[in-house]
Structure 1
Amino acid sequence: MKLATRVWGTGPRTAVLVHGIMTDSRTWNRVAPAVADRGYLVVAVDLRGHGASGHGAPYTPAVLAADLLETLPSAPDLAIGHSLGSAALLLALPRLRCARAIHCDPAWVRRPRDLGALRATKHATWRELRAEHPLWHDEDITTEHRALTTWDPDSVNALAHLPGLPADAPCVPSLLLLADPSERIPPALAATLRRRGWHTRTVDGAGHTVHRDDPIGFLGGLSGWL
């Protein structure tokens, strides 16, 4: 599926951004301009079932990865994926041929989840989102509330097909930028990944959506990778 995209900047280098579940490319609104200011053309997708992109099963990380390869420019200088978007990016990377990859609190490992409860988030109110995300700017709450109107809740099925912890070294230089603490990649798994050649950093005090909880900390965590 060809995905809808949002673009910032006109720089000579290219960065591609892949959001997580339930949101859309506007999740990057507070950090994408800063990436663009560092000399990038920034291209962010709306994943299948999100934002302005079409809906359509099956929803699996492999299908989402195929959508990325159909949509994104090849050989970008930088690729950033968050949560489920990181799982799709992980599978796309061998063919995407980017120079560097950053995985933000990636959803690679399956966890016990109530998928029905996640689907019910479709109907969350602004006040409920505000209570759930106390560190977000009010504009982010409003953007997320709007994103839920176009989100297909069946996309949570992708969380039942996550790729698992990578068994090998990354195919490109890769950074894991993690929440504090991270439920997706806890310290023991982070240590395992470091032994396999992955770089890791933690943004102190940030939750799962690092770039919205602490945009300044998120950008600081990318130091040396932009």
Structure 2
Amino acid sequence: MQLHTQTWGEGDRIALLIHGIMADHRTWRRVGPALADRGYRVIAVDLRGHGASGRGEYSPQLYADDVVETLPAGAELAIGHSLGGLTLSLAVDRLKPRRAVFSDPAWHLAAPVDGFGPEMLAQFKTATREEIRAMSPRWEEVDVDIELATLALWDERTALSLAPLFGADLLPAAPVVPSLVQLADPSILINEERARTLKSRGFEVRSVAGAGHTIHRDDFDGFMASLEDWIQGV
């Protein structure tokens, strides 16, 4: 499936952005322009079932196939957040970016407990402004507005499609390209043991102190600072 995209900048280097579940390209409203200011042409997708992209069947493999069909191979940088991080890990061998950043990637979804699972995730479709603020107290008001707008467009069946992944270990065996795993503090997806495993497998792992799961919205400055040498290609 060809996906809807948003582009910032006209630089010689290309950066790719892949959002997480429930979101779309608008989650990168500050990251896209910031990378463009650093000389990148930035391309962000709306995954299938999200934003202005098409609907259909849903699975991580289909998400990965879509981004490979839509995005150029050989980019300087690719960043995937949460489900976008999982998607990037399944596409990276075909996209072949020079560097990859996995921002709090969905490589371990805990087995459903106390009712939390794909069904509860799907119910977030009807979250109110107050509920979003309570879950993400550090977000700017414009991000709350964007979240409400993206939830209105989001197909919640994408959450239900993740049911087989809950409780599974999805950590990659090794990085395909030089790879940074950027973690929230604490991360609900990658605990300390899994972080050590990733380091032992050749990933660089960094945490952004005090940031929640959506690091680039919780602490934009911390997000950018943790990527600085990767952004500049040092």
Question: What's the TM-score, normalizing by structure 1?
Answer: 0.96
Q: Is the 8 A contact 1:110 1:159 kept in 2?
A: no
CA deviations on 1:138-158 (whole Å, 9 max, x unpaired) are: 000000100011100000134
Matching residue of 1:30: 30
Q: Deviations for 1:146-175, whole angstroms, at most 9, x for unmatched residues?
A: 001110000013433447343522010000
Q: CA deviation at 1:216?
A: 0.3
Alignment of 1:169-188 (within 5 A): 169-188=174-193
State how 1:80-95 maps to structure 2 within 5 Å.
80-95=79-94
Residue identity in the other structure for 2:102: H
The residue aligned with 1:138 is: 141
The residue that corresponds to 1:212 in the other structure is 217
What is the DSSP-based 3-state SS (H/G/I as helix, E as strand, rest coil) of the residue aligned with 2:230? Answer: coil
1:153 pairs, out of 148, 152, 156, with 156
Give 1:74 deviation, angstroms.
1.3
Identity %: 52
The Cα offsets for residues 36-94 of structure 1, whole Å up to 9 and x where unpaired, read as: 1111000000000000001111x111010000001001111100000001111100000
Using a 3 Å threshold, how does the CA distance of structure 1 residues 149 and 160 change in structure 2: closer, same or farther? same
Amino acid corresponding to residue 35 of structure 1 in structure 2: L
For structure 2, which runs of at least 5 residues remain unmatched after alignment? Answer: none
Amino acid at match of 1:108: W
Alignment of 1:1-226 (within 5 A): 1-57=1-57, 59-111=58-110, 112=112, 113-162=116-165, 164-226=169-231
Deviations 1:187-217 (A, max 9, x none): 1110111011000000000010000000000
8 Å contact kept, 1:16–1:43: yes
> Is the partner of 1:183 in helix, strand or coil?
coil
Which stretches of structure 1, 4 residues or more, deviate above 6 A after TM superposition? none
The CA deviation string for residues 17-45 of structure 1, in whole angstroms up to 9 with x for no partner, is 00000011100002211111111000000
What is the rounded CA distance, in whole Å, between the counterparts of 2:22 and 2:47 in structure 1? 10
Question: How far is 1:13 from its partner?
Answer: 0.1
Gaps of 5+ in 1: none
* Distance in 2 separating the partners of 1:208 and 1:160: 20
Verify the 8 A CA contact 1:60 1:157 in the aligned structure 2: no
SS at match of 1:73: coil
Q: CA RMSD in A?
A: 1.2
Contact 1:179 1:210 in 2 (8 A): yes
